[in-house]
Structure 1
Amino acid sequence: MSTAAALHSACLEYGFFYLDISKYVDPKEPEELTRLAREFFALPEEEKYKIALRNEDGARGYARLKENVTNGLADNHEGVDFYRPVEFPDRTKPLWGTNQWPSIPGFREKYEAWVEKMKKLGLAVMEAMATGLGMTPEEWEDLKSQVSNSFWVMRMIGYPPLPNDYQGFSCGAHKDYGCLTFLYADPTPGALEVFLERPGHLVQTAPDIPPSENVEQFGVWIKADPIPGCVVCNIGEMWEIWTNGLYKSTLHRVVHRSSNYRVSIPFFFEPNFDAFIKALPAALRLQDGEPKKPGKRAIEERKYEPVVYGQFLLSKVANNFDTNGVKSRYT
């Protein structure tokens, strides 16, 4: 119960938290994934481009340096994207192609093992969050059914040092679309930044956001440096809908100015593709101020329109493509 309460508090206050997984996975396992990623990124460009996004559905595969764009600016990173396999794949349909795996020995086997562990971790964290929200067992089973066939996404990302005169970012400020992000990154400090709204600290939301959206807010950018044995977790926009705005998906970005080549491996535990996402009764009860009465009808005004996750995702991805490449939402 203390874990559930801590998660609830972190989601209310920050939308980000650290999760100690040292007793769940051998620390050597993600280190090996990082080694394999470095081996891939060190290959000649023509070798990496054998699994380019353009070979498939435009979402699964390799994106070269600066091919990803956030808020109109090229991101200074390269990466490979993998999605949950689908029945009857069709590379002409967005998101509906086949994953492209590097030919490095052991790569696919070890990364697929990581996917399975992160999927189990996702369900465990979801259950703890359900407890923190005060959901009944029946309500948790309903929520569980919305993520039991998660349309997960996994990336491996390589970040060279950001040039001092570069106008973009390693990865521009953004929010994640879905449910839960589990980020494993190498020990590089000072790269991942999280925006926190804080009275008394007047700053711009982010210099890389277009002028129409670049409004001043009270807040600060803070570092979210790696902690040994932990993954950095954050919640996506689906949790905003599920909680009627009680939880917020937080802006984050990557500014990598160290001299090394940084590697991160985020796993995105998402809802089912056909999941119908709407405000949860438990969240509405909390907003009514009466969490002790699960049978009481919630009267809190619903602030978010329900969405079908797959349609929401497709609408986002449709805006992530332009003639210069694929716009990114990941860290």
Structure 2
Amino acid sequence: MAETTGIKVASNLPIISIAPWLNGADAPGRLSTAAALHAACLEFGFFYLDISSFVDPEEPEELAKLAREFFSLPQEEKDKIWLGHQDHARGYARLKENVTNGKADNHEAIDLYRPVEQPDKTKPLWGENQWPTLPQFREKYEVWIHKMKVLGMAVMEAMSVGLGMRPDEWDQLRTQVDDSFWVMRIIGYPPLPNDEDGFSCGAHKDYGCLTFLWADPTRNALQVFLPEPFVAVENPGHAPVEEGIERGAWISADPISGCVVCNIGEMWEIWTQGLYKSTLHRVIHRGSNYRFVSIPFFFEPNFNAVVAPLPAAKRLQQDDSQKKPAGTYSPTVYGDFLLKKVGGNFAQGKGKYD
């Protein structure tokens, strides 16, 4: 990272191998990985995770192929699993059905959540997942879900070490995420018209714990907002001051083979009392390919987890070399927080991130 007239310059987001935390407790490199995660969360809230030792690169490519098959079906076929048939959260969301910041998002998606006991589609988030009937669709995606849950626990443990948590403190935090109320979206983005002033997905922060995003090789679609003092070297002429957003620069987080893009959600802001920040991001797809596919997996706390500032974060903030708390962070029951965000949002005509 270079210095230019007092401004830190970020040429790209960090790439961190998570292999040491997936290869057993005696694997070398665990401490350096934990330190790298801590630094990335302090500075960016976004980074690449190298998972090439954990996932065959052909596996997510097969998932994208299946997604394109589904999105290419006639509308009436896709509508058979429309989210309105369940709890208005689980199932197929039509093109422009979701809204962010008052504008329709130019994408369609399948939304899946952790299965619940005694499902009831009249209760927000408590319905049943709806799967396409395409051969092997559900089977292959369920394998991916399992791997992302394993990845989530590994990253959480590594982050606990990076934050300076004691083993007993990690044991306590683990009980808040060991039955993750995960979410997965399978998203198809047709190109935006050149005169379109909307977004494929508008600027927002993720509100959970960790997001693992695999995307096809489309470039310049996913964009991450870096507030000053960070400016992107590869895009220095595009640092707009947007209404309601602080001064800074949007940089592209293009896919890297063997990696997923990872970002932290708002629960990490509470856990760290503002030491880590959830970062704004958006999607603007104007490419020539008909449909850009991305598969974000959201590794979230348990539904009933009480998320509160961690003692390790408080200890760090007593050190003058660390940031001071940016505000008051009250304990939050994750399920209640989630329900306020997405419970029945489509039925009410609201957006997921409004």
| Deviations 1:11-58, CA, capped at 9 Å, x for gaps | 000000000111101111101100000000000000000000100000
Does residue 328 of structure 1 match 2:343? no
Residue aligned with 2:274, SS: coil
Ranges in structure 2 where 5+ consecutive residues have no aligned partner: 1-30, 232-238
Distance in 2, matches of 1:308 and 1:67, equals 28
Query: After TM superposition, what 4+ stretches of structure 1 lie above 4 angstroms from structure 2?
Result: 299-302
SS across alignment from 1:10: helix
Q: Aligned to 1:219, which of 232, 236, 248?
A: 248
- 1:286-308 Cα distance to aligned partner (Å, 9 max, x none): 000189xxxxxxx9797211100
Instruction: Determine what percentage of the aligned residue pairs are the same residue.
Output: 69
Write the letter of the residue equivalent to 1:84: R
Residue correspondence of structure 1 range 44-83 to structure 2 within 5 A: 44-83=74-113
The equivalent residue for 1:312 is 337
Per the alignment, residue 194 of structure 1 pairs with: 224
- Given that 2:274 and 2:326 are in contact with CA atoms closer than 8 Å, whether structure 1 keeps it comes out as no
Aligned residues: CA RMSD: 1.9
Contact 1:279/1:302 (8 A) holds in 2: no
Aligned length: 314
Give the distance between the partners of 2:252 and 2:327, measured in 1 at CA.
Answer: 33
Distance (whole Å) between structure 2 residues aligned to residue 99 and residue 300 of structure 1: 39
Q: How does 1:143-182 map to 2 (within 5 A)?
A: 143-182=173-212
The one-letter code of the counterpart of 1:134 is G
Q: Once the 2 structures are TM-superposed, how far is the Cα of residue 272 of structure 1 from its aligned partner?
A: 0.1
Q: Which of 117, 125, 139 is the matching residue for 2:155? A: 125
State whether residues 200 and 218 of structure 1, in contact with CA within 8 Å, keep that contact through their aligned partners in structure 2.
no
* Residue identity matched to 2:272: T
Question: Is the Cα–Cα contact under 8 Å of residues 199 and 218 in structure 1 kept in the other structure?
Answer: no
Helix, strand or coil: the match of 2:213? strand
CA 323–284 in structure 1, closer or farther in 2 if over 3 Å, else same: closer
* Secondary structure in structure 1 of the residue aligned to 2:247: strand
- Pick the aligned partner of 1:140 from 152, 160, 170: 170
For residues 15 and 38 of structure 1, the distance between their equivalents in structure 2, rounded to whole angstroms, comes to: 30
- Are 1:254 and 2:290 an aligned pair? no
Give the secondary-structure state (helix, strand or coil) at the position aligned to 1:155: strand
Secondary structure of the structure 1 residue equivalent to 2:142: helix
Query: 97, 106, 125: which one pairs with 2:127?
Result: 97
Q: 2:142 is aligned with what amino acid? A: E
Structure 2 counterpart of 1:208: none
- Specify the code of the residue in structure 1 equivalent to 2:282: R
Of 163-172 and 227-236, the range deviating more from structure 2: 163-172
The structure-2 alpha-carbon separation of the partners of 1:69 and 1:136, relative to structure 1 and needing over 3 Å to count, comes to same
Which sections of structure 1, spanning at least 5 residues, go unmatched?
206-213, 292-298
Matched, 1:88 2:125: no
Cα deviation digits, residues 123-172 of structure 1 (max 9, x gap): 00000000000000000000000000000000100000011122310000
- Distance in 2 (CA, whole Å) between partners of 1:191 and 1:199 is 23
Partner amino acid, structure 2, of 1:66: K
Distance 2:326 2:191 in 1: 47
Task: Give the secondary-structure state (helix, strand or coil) at the position aligned to 2:294.
Answer: strand
Q: Deviations over 1:234-283 (max 9, x none)?
A: 00000000000000000000000001110000000000000000000000
Match of 2:274 among 245, 255, 262: 245
Distance 2:246 2:51 in 1: 34
Per the normalisation by structure 2, the TM-score is 0.85
What secondary structure is seen at the aligned counterpart in 2 of 1:204? Answer: coil
Contact 2:84 2:347 in 1 (8 A): no
**AA paired with 2:339?**
L
Indicate the SS of the match to 1:217: coil
